[in-house]
Structure 1
Amino acid sequence: MAVVPPGASSKFRPPKPVGQWVPRTRLTDVLRADSGWRLALIHAPAGFGKSTLAAQWMDLLASQGRTTVWLSLDRDDNNTVWFLSHLLEAIGRAKAGFDDELQQLLEERPDDAERYVIPALINAIDEGGQDVVIALDDWHLVTDKRTLNVTERLLDAGGTHLSFIITSRTRSGLPLGRLMVRNQLVEVDAVSLRFDQAESQSFLVDLNRLDLGGEDVASLYRTTEGWIAALQLVSLSLRDHSEASAFIERLSGGHQSIGEYLAENVFNTLEPDVLNFLLTSSVPERLCAGLASALSGVEQGQSMLEQVQARDLFLQPLDEDGTWYRYHHLFEGYLRRRLDRDYPGRVRELHLTAAHWYSDNGFPSDAVDHALAAGDIDFAVEIVESRAMWLVEHSSMATLLALVGKIPADRVPGQARLQMAIAWANTLLHLAAEAQGALDQAETVMPSDATLSDDDRFELGVESLVVQSCIDMYGDNVSRIGELDEKCFAQAGRLRPWIVSVGANLSTFKKIHDGQYELGLEQQLWANRFHDQVSGPFSNVYGHCFAGLAAYALLDMDQVEKQFALAVELGRRHAGRHSHAARLAGAMMGQLLYERGALDKAERLLEETHELGSEGGVVDFMISTFATLARIKELRGDSSKAAEILDEGDAVADSLGLSRLKLVINLERVQLGLKSRTFQPGLAPVPVVHGTPGQRLEGLAETSYQIFLTTQIRSALADAAPADGTTPEHLATVEKARYLLDRAAAYTGPRAELHARILLAAALQQAGLHSEAEETLLPALNTCCRLDLVRPVLDGGVACSELVRSISEELRLGTANYDYHPNLGSFLSLLIRLDLNTAVNGGTSRGLSGGRQQHGGPRRASVPEPALSQREQTILLLIDKGRSNREIALELHLGINTVKWYLKNLFSSLGVSGRQACVDEARRRDLLKQA
């Protein structure tokens, strides 16, 4: 039977009494008497009952109707992402419906997780309206400044519904001064934690049933000074002493000497097998039956654990099922010292045994800790390597990098497999420089890595090519991807499915931009069996998106819709609605919905992808996000927002060196009637000769060249006046449009041909060649009618709108002398109605024709910038800094409801529905600079 990880039980449950606890009524009354506390801090050395008191307090608070959350800390919580992940899981276990998608955000945005997670956490608790108490046990184990700052922020700004109980051996790392000034601190120290004489009596006589008189109890109380651990040792020792009074009389000295003496006294009464079990099982922080058996050599590990617990030998259960246990810290320390003293050679051996057990049972972090404690760095590296790609495939890149961070820095560069995993993690985090550095290092050390077999070197060599091609693909470069056919796919049986799955996606991407769409679809059909063997969703989502892009180029719209829908569903089901994978797929589905006229749904999906910014996937995804979302904003009548989205896309293109994206942004500016920014794509000039497409440019260069030609044609149409007769300028534009259509038909497939045909029809109409324009446009209209695509025609501009009306009139009058789709008449009526609605609602009647409004049609509505007050501007800045509603209220001395009112007004003014969208929109409008 599989062992449940410690993180799934012991971290999230308070300790339970083996029998009964001494009620700490006088201390629970302290908590009950102070209703305004934010932090209840229990601090004392080991053995004073800190966790026990915290557990009793949590029971009391739960009985009052508060939601209680328990988190036992360990040294791994010094990694802030892990601390936040554990905290979110703990809250989720106690509070149904808590936002699980914050966990995925932690993995995908580890560097600035606090900015997104902390405000969302504070707001969720604040708006839930129910008091939540979080207990952090063993706070002294956390020393990382970033984690300390997170907790400090939660304490400072958590609001009236959030409070903490913290146990620690020290008072450090907490904002005690500020909490004390605000009268929000309850503090219990070692002096308060000691048993008083009545509690000592209850513990020794009532609970442990020792036959002691009042004088004996008083003597023990004076000797131990109420130190709970010492009293527990006394109770064990006295069970076998007939002369209790004489034994008590001999006790003297400080706490440490008492502890050592009593521990020795208890040990001397133990059977050898029990003593061996205690010593060998003291090495790990937590124990279960399988681990205890591995360490001690006792087959019946569970039975021995239960026997030790029944004898009150300081073994505490950590879950209700009795699966995980831990020794009392004081007793654990003594056991380890004795083990090291009596059997110094066994300590390393036991750490290695624990490391192997943890590794075999899926606990890599614990396994690495024990391997390093044993001094076996090679095994620690092996553990991380064995887990690394599973984490990559499940989009847990931050967890992987945190595990790598445990390995001594000087040992990481020499490990080829580990460097490859680091390269994968950084590639998927869109950190190209870090990915390239790790990949280069892997390739450097690969020949000299003695741990690699010939098969390993073969696989790593192919994997290196796949990673490099993946880095290149994010940079819109496909020059090396062609090598995969021979080096990867021909020998797929020798490779892990992940390598082949990602490699197939890369190859499909290249085939799409080589115009080999059918081959791209065949590649994905072939790759499906490898996609299905990969445990995480990421590569499968990309596969569906790329298959959809190939089908889109062929105008196989049923296949397009199927593939994009599968991608969205897969991303959401495996990683959450707001996961990276789901939002990338949403960009593709948003593009399809836009072209079919479902603007509201398209806008919602594209807004979600827009939040990814420079992490928005390959260029094709970014084109859908920036260009299509800008068009939608224009159709809403908000030209300012459309322009700002394009400016943002332009900045992303510059920062990442994406020339194809920059070309598209330039084209969209022309289509929106904005001033175009001069940009030459760096392509050699190609003579424009109608009747022949000329030579196809290689790979992405052909796509880029056609975008560039489209921009020139759109710009010419925008600058030229409608012709009374055909002028040389009009003819030059028409010839360039004919040439574009030739190239699109020859090299880039039916979808590109459709758009080029619509553009040629617009050029012919503007040149006064009406009959030829109708003849040219009609096949495109039939295609759009058949496929239910409305935006390609509407975005064709004023000239296309004129052609739609004239053809519609001919159909109405029965004067059309050409073949047409039986539903074309109703389709044209729909286009005319949509075009008119756009004008009425503040868009443009020219669709998105490119350039200025021509010959008296309705003009674009003017959308003034919102007039923000100084207070609203200040709140915008605080939101941008990641402040929660509660923190904003405290900083500005406002009520929480007042802050919410301001936010509602801001969202309304900026036309957004969320905090981050509000900041993004304000930045695009330069409103943040006003504050």
Structure 2
Amino acid sequence: MFEIDSSQLRFSLAEASKLLGGRHQAGLAPEDLSQLHGKTEGWITGLWLASVALDHHAEKAEFVRKFSGSNLSVADYLLGEVFEQQSEKVRQFLLRTSILKELTPGLCNALVPQIESAAILQALSAENVLLTLVEGEDQTYRYHSLFASFLQSQLRRQSPDAVAALHLQAARWFAAQDRPVPAIDHYLESGELSEVLPLMSRHIYSLLAQGRMRLLGRWFDKLPPNALRSHPALKMAQLWTLCFTRGPWAAMTALNISGLADSADEDVWPHVSALRPVLFGMMDRQEDAFEAGRRGLARLPSSVPFADGALINTMSGVFSMRGQSFEALELMSASRRAQSENSSQLHRMYAETMEGTLDLFAGRIHEAHARFRTAVAATIAEGRKSTGGNAWAGLLYALTTYERNEIAHATDLLRVYIPQTRNIGLPDHMIQGYRMLSRIAFLAGDVDEVYRLLTELEALGHERQLPRVVTSARLERSRVQLLQGHSIAAQQELARVSDDAAASRTQTFRLAGNDVDYPLLAKLRWEAVSGDAATAAIALTAEAAIAFSEQRRRRGLALELVLAVALARSGREPSALIALESTLRACHRQGFVRMVLDEGPPLGVLVRQLHARATAASSVSRDVTFLGYLTNLREGYGSTLPVAAPDPSQQTVLLDRLTEKEVHVLHLLAEGYSNIAMAEKLGVTDSTVRTHLRNINSKLAAGSRMQAVSAARRLGIVR
């Protein structure tokens, strides 16, 4: 005999997919399947009932979104097969405790007096009545989510007036146990403001310092509009929360109408002094942030350590942006000293992020990556994944992860943090996040997704009145067009930002989103690849010297990579290879990978030559670690590099006429589309695309995709 617990009776996601697929659930997207599996928690009966109901709904995603224990088929099953099979005493226990996210004997006794809760919980768990023992917790249970929503629906139907009273009893029990978070949750559900507001006042700033923004946002959303009128400190906490959950514009509007902007209250003005520069900085109004922050610094210290720390951290970033590194480091030191006296996870996160950003500007990828990882961990509760931390540090952690060419991990991080940074409206984070996602899409051959992401970024810039975001989207679009060989389109896109006021700010200030992707470098890259390469080489040399003199090593290295392209194209290939080897050795030491690979084939052909030279060197003179780096770069370019120049004596000949469809496939191939993306674009299967490619290779006497494109370009079939 074997004992089988409830976890072994649950379907995995793969098993749920088989069940639903077997019922021909066409149109159920992977994310909808995952959401449905999460709601049913793998409960086989729940999955089956959902699959039956899905047959009658055209809008699958909407059905999954609304699916709960109150769904008619689920409710009928739970009512007849589970709820009505219990005794009246147990049914009352189930209803009254359904409001709880966790069930312990003591808490249940508070809600259902004169009953032995421990015995009932153990019996229900033993009978597998959709009750689960919480792993790692002693005598702590929870209801299956569908069963909980069913019970709550029954409670509201049978005893609507009891709901608020039960929440109030639960809140008081948690408060007595010194557990303020669940206590406040239940107080807000009960509507008892006279008890919840004092409790919130005692704990709100410790939670704010921990970075619990979404939790606080949920609480403040549940309060009536004028509930905080006589609680100015809580109102300021609400404004901080608004800033980090809905963005600076919502917070600034709320501050202006709050009546607290010019308050002299000792518990209020320090927050206003700190909040204003934060909001201006997030709005990309750096000059206003500097002036407001400078006035705030003159009033330090105040009686509010949280606000002082926020102001110091913000102004360290502002000074760094202005190139005043000494002042920035001085403020960071002050922030570190303050942390030792008044520990704050949020301030630790921000301080580590700022120091990591300075490392990034200085070209120290390894150090920056370590700091960003530490910053993310500073706001993660024990046992949670690295995607649960603060988006401010999280997206920069994704940036260094991407730079290290850890594409899968970077993609996972970006999927979590980009929605958060977009909702908040952080300009540099949005620029860097969308840029990385578009480049990852280009690597995957999904060209349509590349342009969709850049169009979305540009639209966000217009919508949020952030000209630099618009400029950055256009710069990246121009870069993609240049990689596709559309030099005229790339030049026209650059012309749209040449006189842009936002473009000049990328030269004046140290802005993380435009450190190595800024208008002047984009213009010089175009000249190096498609224009006057010799003149571009002179300008690149001068610009790189300025960058290195300003300790902007990352920018300097990026300029030197493009310089190598310009030198080679202007007929100075030996000089180009010498210069490139020196630059790549520096990139190797500092940990740069994607910055090299993202320059594409114009640089890749030079890397290939260096790799061949290093491979041919004698074992005595060979630098093994540098050769390994070059090998990784060579492999990173993959099949994107053009084939070696053909023998002039062997003319490219078209062995058979290409069909119209094959010419179309060649054009898509030249623009970087993958097989899957081409199949979707053409409305055919992947095997059909492969057939077209085999025919193309045969007719062009080519052995690979890139050989076929090169041959087609020599014949003038594609540009």
Name the CA shift for 1:440/1:828 in 2 (closer, same or farther; >3 Å): same
Give the SS at the match of 1:716. Answer: helix
Q: Displacement, 1:751?
A: 1.4
Name the CA shift for 1:434/1:620 in 2 (closer, same or farther; >3 Å): closer
Residues 239 and 254, structure 2, Cα contact 8 Å, conserved in 1: yes
Q: Displacement, 1:514?
A: 1.9
The 5 Å alignment of 1:200-599 reads 315-316=114-115, 362=180, 363-364=183-184, 381-401=197-217, 403-404=219-220, 408-413=224-229, 415-444=231-260, 447=263, 457-482=265-290, 483-484=292-293, 487-488=296-297, 491-492=300-301, 494-497=303-306, 499-517=307-325, 519-521=327-329, 523-531=331-339, 537-574=345-382, 576-577=384-385, 579=387, 581=389, 585-599=393-407
The 5 Å alignment of 1:811-850 reads 827=626, 830-831=629-630, 834-835=633-634, 838-840=637-639
In structure 2, the residue matched to 1:89 is none
Q: Distance in 1 between matches of 2:195 and 2:43?
A: 49
Q: Displacement, 1:430?
A: 2.9
In structure 2, the residue matched to 1:710 is 521
* TM-score normalised according to structure 2 size: 0.61
Residues 561 and 583, structure 2, Cα contact 8 Å, conserved in 1: yes
Residues 681 and 704, structure 1, Cα contact 8 Å, conserved in 2: no
Q: Distance in 1 between matches of 2:314 and 2:10?
A: 42
Is it true that 1:668 corresponds to 2:476 in the alignment? yes
Residues 379 and 390, structure 2, Cα contact 8 Å, conserved in 1: yes
* TM-score normalised according to structure 1 size: 0.49
Structure 1: runs of 5+ lacking an equivalent? 1-62, 68-93, 99-114, 134-151, 159-163, 165-173, 196-202, 204-227, 229-287, 292-301, 337-349, 448-453, 687-693, 721-728, 816-821, 847-857, 873-931
Q: Displacement, 1:319?
A: 5.9
Residues 11 and 43, structure 2, Cα contact 8 Å, conserved in 1: no
The 5 Å alignment of 1:110-259 reads 122-124=36-38, 126=40, 128-129=42-43, 157=67, 186=80
Equivalences, count: 562
Give the SS at the match of 1:555. Answer: coil
The one-letter code sitting in structure 1 at the alignment partner of 2:448 is: S
Q: Distance in 2 between matches of 1:194 and 1:608?
A: 45
In structure 2, the residue matched to 1:764 is 567
The one-letter code sitting in structure 2 at the alignment partner of 1:502 is: A
The 5 Å alignment of 1:69-84 reads none
Q: Displacement, 1:745?
A: 2.9
The one-letter code sitting in structure 2 at the alignment partner of 1:862 is: Y
Give the SS at the match of 2:552. Answer: helix
Residues 532 and 540, structure 1, Cα contact 8 Å, conserved in 2: no
Q: Distance in 2 between matches of 1:357 and 1:684?
A: 52
The one-letter code sitting in structure 1 at the alignment partner of 2:459 is: A
In structure 2, the residue matched to 1:683 is 501
Query: C-alpha root-mean-square deviation of aligned residues, in Å?
Result: 5.7
Considering Cα pairs closer than 8 Å and 6+ residues apart, tell me whether 1 or 2 has the greater RCO. Answer: 1
Give the SS at the match of 2:626. Answer: helix
The one-letter code sitting in structure 2 at the alignment partner of 1:626 is: Y
Q: Distance in 1 between matches of 2:582 and 2:257?
A: 55
The one-letter code sitting in structure 2 at the alignment partner of 1:787 is: Q
The one-letter code sitting in structure 1 at the alignment partner of 2:501 is: L
Q: Displacement, 1:730?
A: 3.8
Name the CA shift for 1:805/1:511 in 2 (closer, same or farther; >3 Å): same
Q: Distance in 1 between matches of 2:563 and 2:364?
A: 23
Give the SS at the match of 1:630. Answer: helix
Q: Displacement, 1:713?
A: 1.4
Q: Distance in 2 between matches of 1:504 and 1:838?
A: 43
In structure 2, the residue matched to 1:737 is 540
The one-letter code sitting in structure 1 at the alignment partner of 2:300 is: Q
Q: Distance in 2 between matches of 1:183 and 1:380?
A: 38
In structure 2, the residue matched to 1:630 is 438
1:401-437, CA deviations, whole angstroms, 9 ceiling, x for partnerless residues? 5544565534534643232122111111133333122
Q: Displacement, 1:573?
A: 4.5
1:654 pairs with 458, 462, 482, which one? 462
The one-letter code sitting in structure 1 at the alignment partner of 2:317 is: F
Residues 528 and 537, structure 2, Cα contact 8 Å, conserved in 1: no
Residues 512 and 520, structure 1, Cα contact 8 Å, conserved in 2: yes
In structure 1, the residue matched to 2:530 is 719
The one-letter code sitting in structure 2 at the alignment partner of 1:432 is: P
Residues 369 and 401, structure 2, Cα contact 8 Å, conserved in 1: no
Q: Displacement, 1:123?
A: 0.8
1:180-233, CA deviations, whole angstroms, 9 ceiling, x for partnerless residues? 9x888539999x9999xxxxxxx9xxxxxxxxxxxxxxxxxxxxxxxx9xxxxx
Residues 706 and 740, structure 1, Cα contact 8 Å, conserved in 2: no
Q: Displacement, 1:755?
A: 1.2
